[in-house]
Amino acid sequence: MKLSVPKETKLKENRVALTPDVVKGLVKKGFEVMVEKGAGVNSFYADDAYTDAGATLVDNTLCYSNADVVLKVNAPQPDEISKMKKEAILISFMFAATNPQLVDACTVAGISAFSMDAVPRISRAQKMDALSSQANLAGYKAVIMAADTLGKIFPMMTTAAGTIKPSKVVIFGAGVAGLQAIATAKRLGAVVEVSDIRPETKEQVQSLGGKFIEVKGDDSIKMEGGYVKGVSEEFLKKQQELVGKHVKEADIVITTALIPGKKAPLLVTEEMVKSMRFGSVIVDMAVEQGGNVVGSELNKNVVKNGVTIIGEGNIPSLLPLNASDLYAKNIETLLLHLADKDKFKWEMTEDITKGSLIVHNGKAVHPSILKLVNS
C-alpha cells in the first residue's frame, strides 16, 4: 500500500502528517511511503531524514495521483482531492460538519475519507485522539504567549525593593487545553481561577492547584462523547455575570471553549474587556471558530482599551516539532487500526471506523453529514 505525505499549504501551518521516526516504523511494517519534498522542513525535519527512514521524495502531483492513502494534517483543497485516484483514501482533519465543500469534493472524486477530529472519545482510541494531543500543546503555548505579552512576572517575588504580587490568570474551560493551561500557569507561579460549565471538572481543576469558579448548571447543558454539544443563552448570561468580577481582577484571561460543528460560545463581553486593567492580556483559543471574546480577530493581536487580545488561530503550529511528532503517532495508530500493509479492513460497524469515516467510496456516510443533508 502506497502512503503519501503532501506538504501542508494552509496559512501559518508548520506541521507535517508523518515524522521520520513514524515513517521508519511504517516502512518496516511493509508500507511504501512517499513524502513531498520539503514537507517536513517547517517542523524541523529535513528531506534527508525521510529518505534515511525509507521514504521516497516526490513532487506534489505524485502525492495525490500515485497514492493509495493520502495522510495530512489539514484536509487538501478540492482541486487537490480531484487529483486522487478513485477509491483512494484520505486521512486528515476535516471538520466535515462545517465544511460541506470538502465533503462534496470527496464524493465527486469517488474516494473514502477519515477525519481525525471525528475519532470517538473512547478509551481504546486515546492514542488516536489528535484533538487532545494538539490541544494539550496549545494550552501550554497559550500561557507562554500571554506571559510574553504581559508586562509583569507570574510568581510572587520578594526583593529588597519590595514584594511583587503574583499574577492572576482566569481560564475558561477545563478540557484538555484548559487543564494544561492551568498546570503551566501554576508552574510559572500564577494564581489560577477556572470557570467550566461542567461541575465534574471541579476536582480536576483543584488537583492542579486552580480555584474553581462554580456556576450552577441546568438542563440546557448537553453533553455528547465528552464534548459540550450545546448550552442555553440564559446559562451563558448567568456564567458571564458570575465570572465578570474575576475577569476584572485578572492579569490574563485564556478562553478555550469550543462546541464541535457550531460557532464558539461568547464568553467574554465588551464590558468585561473594558473592565480589565490596562496592560492585561486575553488569549482567545477559539478565535478560528468564531471566538469566545468580543473583539478578537483571527491571526491578529489587537488592543482594546489597553487590553491585548491574542487571536492566534493555529497555536499547535507554533510548536511544530512536538505537534508533528504527536500527530504522526495519532495518525499512525489510526491507520494501523484500520488497515495492514495490503488493504483496509472496512469493519463498518466497529466504533472507531464508524465514528471517523466521513465518506466511503464517494458516498457520505457519517451521521453528522447525513443529518445536515436531511435537515
Q: Name the architecture of domain 2-118+319-374.
A: 3-Layer(aba) Sandwich (3.40)
Tell me the residue type at 274. Answer: K
> What would the DSSP string read from start to end of 167-181?
PEEEEE--SHHHHHH
Tell me the CA distances in angstroms from 295 to 119, 141, 168, 281, 301, one per residue in order: 32, 21, 22, 13, 10
Statement: residue 225 has pLDDT above 60 = no
- Compute the C-alpha angle 138/141/144, nearest 5°: 155
Same topology, domains 2-118+319-374 and 135-313? Answer is yes
Which cell goes with 351? 466504533
Statement: residue 200 has pLDDT above 60 = yes
pLDDT digits (tens, 9 = 90+) for 95-147: 998 899 999 999 999 999 999 999 999 999 999 999 999 999 999 999 999 99
Give me the pLDDT at residue 368, please. Answer: 82
CB-count exposure of residue 370 (10 Å: 0-12, 13-18, 19+): exposed
Distance CA 1, CA 98 (A): 31
Tell me the CA distances in angstroms from 172 to 198, 228, 278, one per residue in order: 11, 13, 21
Tell me the residue type at 27. Answer: V
Statement: residue 223 has pLDDT above 70 = no
Distance CA 111, CA 245 (A): 52
Strand partners, 363: 360
Give me the pLDDT at residue 215, please. Answer: 76
Pick from 202, 215, 209: which is nearest to 185 by CA? 209
Residue 239 belongs to what H/E stretch? helix 233-248
**With contact defined as beta carbons under 8 Å apart, do 112 and 313 qualify?**
no
- Give me the percent of the chain exceeding a pLDDT of 70: 94
Sign of CA dihedral 209, 210, 216, 221: negative
- Compute the C-alpha angle 362/36/27, nearest 5°: 85
Distance CA 51, CA 45 (A): 11
pLDDT digits (tens, 9 = 90+) for 285-309: 999 999 999 999 999 999 999 999 9
> Cβ neighbours of residue 237 under 8 Å, at least 6 residues apart?
none
* Mean of the per-residue pLDDT values of the chain: 93
Query: What's phi and psi for 13, nearest 5 deg?
Result: -95, 120
Q: Name the architecture of domain 135-313.
A: 3-Layer(aba) Sandwich (3.40)
Q: Mapping DSSP to helix (H, G, I), strand (E, B) and coil, where does residue 348 land?
A: coil
Q: Which residue ranges make up each domain of the chain? A: 2-118+319-374, 135-313
Name the pTM for this structure.
0.92
Task: Tell me which residues are annotated as active site.
Answer: 121, 126, 129, 132, 227
- Residues in the chain, overall count: 375
> What would the DSSP string read from start to end of 247-260?
HHT-SEEEE----T
pLDDT digits (tens, 9 = 90+) for 99-108: 999 999 999 9
Strand partners, 228: 223
- pLDDT tier for residue 367 given thresholds of 50, 70 and 90: confident
Q: With DSSP H G I counted as helix, E B as strand and the rest as coil, what are the percentages for the chain, rounded to 5?
A: 40, 20, 40
**With contact defined as beta carbons under 8 Å apart, do 171 and 256 qualify?**
yes
Statement: residue 375 has pLDDT above 50 = no
Sign of CA dihedral 145, 149, 150, 151: positive
